[in-house]
Amino acid sequence: MFIADYHLHTNASSDSEAPAEAMIERAISLGLTEIALTDHVDFDDRYTYTDYDEYIPAFIRLQEKYKSKIRLVLGVEIGLENMLKEKVNDFAVSYPFDFIIGSSHSVKKYDLYFDREKFFGLFQNKKDAYTTYFDELIKNINECRTFNIYGHMDFVNRYGTYEDNSLCYGEFSDLVDKAMRLLIEKGKGIEINTSGFRYGLGQTHPSFDFVKRYKELNGELITVGSDAHRPEDIAADFTAAYDMLREAGFKYITLFRYQKPVFARIP
Ligand SMILES: [Zn+2]
Ligand SMILES: [Zn+2]
């Protein structure tokens, strides 16, 4: 039994065609008690994002319609980019979100997917590229105040242009520890994002070593999300995520109400 999927996209995200109702109906059929819709908002010029003045009233209608069956959490996934921090911070406080994922989708204005050749081409080797990724992630935590959870924090390993894109916690432990300590100090958390399995990485984002280290550092806030862009991927590989949480020593997953954490026992 799974509790909640806290990372979902609908056709309000430019990379999904799924109507919100199809996502909600699927979540109900899986027995989830709540879901967070976390559509994309990225401020890089090449992206468009939905008009939240229209999105929110429509979302409230859905909350009302489904309230006896499932709790719908008003979320958003904001692409964090410290060079655009004013836009990020202004946007986040302009709407009554329950839950905000902050994610690194671009680094120094290079989109990790669209500009992968250019971005990774800037560096001599993988270690330098991944170091820059984490340096920028730390700047994002310091400068973009308005998020609750850092999304898929080892995401750089999805789009690397190397023969082996793997990213070991041990190789970047100083930077990862610094990032995690900052998140903890600022009352923010991390997520276990199961999409890595669907991308053939054989792991969650981040991998188990990160989750274990986060627990060792007394991190408490951790959400579980599939990053589904279509109904059939909702709660995908959550058995693996829950097993990983238990193995790392977590007894609870985190849910959010008005951006305040509440805890649900892992079944
Ligand atoms: Zn993302
Ligand atoms: Zn996402």
Q: Kindly give the distance from the C-alpha atom of residue 225 to the centroid of ligand 1, in angstroms, as a whole number.
A: 11
Max intra-chain CA distance, the chain: 55
H-helix or E-strand spanning residue 32: none
pLDDT digits (tens, 9 = 90+) for 45-57: 788 899 999 999 9
Q: Which long-range contacts (CB under 8 A, 24 or more apart) does 69-72 make?
A: 69/28, 70/24, 70/27, 70/28, 70/32, 70/33, 70/34, 70/35, 71/33, 71/34, 71/35, 72/24, 72/34, 72/35, 72/37
pLDDT score recorded for residue 47: 84
pLDDT at residue 99 in the model: 98
Mean of the per-residue pLDDT values for the chain?
96
Average pLDDT over residues 22-49: 94
Q: Greater confidence, 1 or 215?
A: 215
Residue 243 has pLDDT above 90, yes or no: yes
Distance 77 CA to ligand 2 centre (A): 6
Number of H helices and number of E strands within the chain?
A: 10, 12
Q: Give distance in angstroms: CA of 227 to centre of ligand 2.
A: 5
Closest ligand to 79 CA? 1
As a whole number, mean pLDDT of residues 232-246 equals 98
Q: How many domains does the chain have?
A: 1
d(CA 148, ligand 2 centre) in Å: 14
Q: Please write the tens of the pLDDT for every residue from 144-197.
A: 989 999 999 999 999 999 999 999 999 999 999 999 999 999 999 999 999 999
CATH number of 114's domain: 3.20.20.140
Average pLDDT on 118-144 reads 97
Q: Which ligand does the CA of 113 lie closest to?
A: 1
Q: Is residue 259 pLDDT above 90, yes or no?
A: yes
CB 193 within 8 A of CB 237: no
Token digits for 37?
A: 């819709």
- Percent of the chain at pLDDT exceeding 90: 96
Percent of the chain at pLDDT exceeding 70: 100
- Whether 17 shows a pLDDT value over 90: the answer reads yes
For residue 241, the model assigns a pLDDT of 98
Q: What spacing in Å lies between the alpha carbon of 177 and ligand 2's midpoint? A: 24
The pLDDT, as a whole number, for residue 12 is 96
pLDDT value at position 20?
98
Whether the pLDDT of residue 116 is over 90: the answer is: yes
> What pLDDT does 149 receive?
98
Structural domain that includes position 56: 4-265
CA of 167 to the centre of ligand 2 (A): 20
75 CA → ligand 1 middle, Å: 13
pLDDT of residue 32: 98
Ligand nearest to the CA of 111: 1
Q: Is 132 a residue whose pLDDT tops 90?
A: yes
What pTM was estimated for this model as a whole?
0.97
Q: How far is the CA of 151 from the centre of ligand 1 (A)?
A: 6
- The ligand that comes nearest to the alpha carbon of residue 38 is 2
Contact 42, 9 (CB under 8 A): no
User: What is the structure's pLDDT at 170?
Assistant: 96
Distance from Cα 253 to the centre of ligand 2, integer Å: 19
Predicted pLDDT of residue 48: 86
For residue 1, name the pLDDT band (cuts at 50, 70, 90): confident
Contacts of residue 63, Cβ cutoff 8 Å, sequence gap at least 6: 72, 74
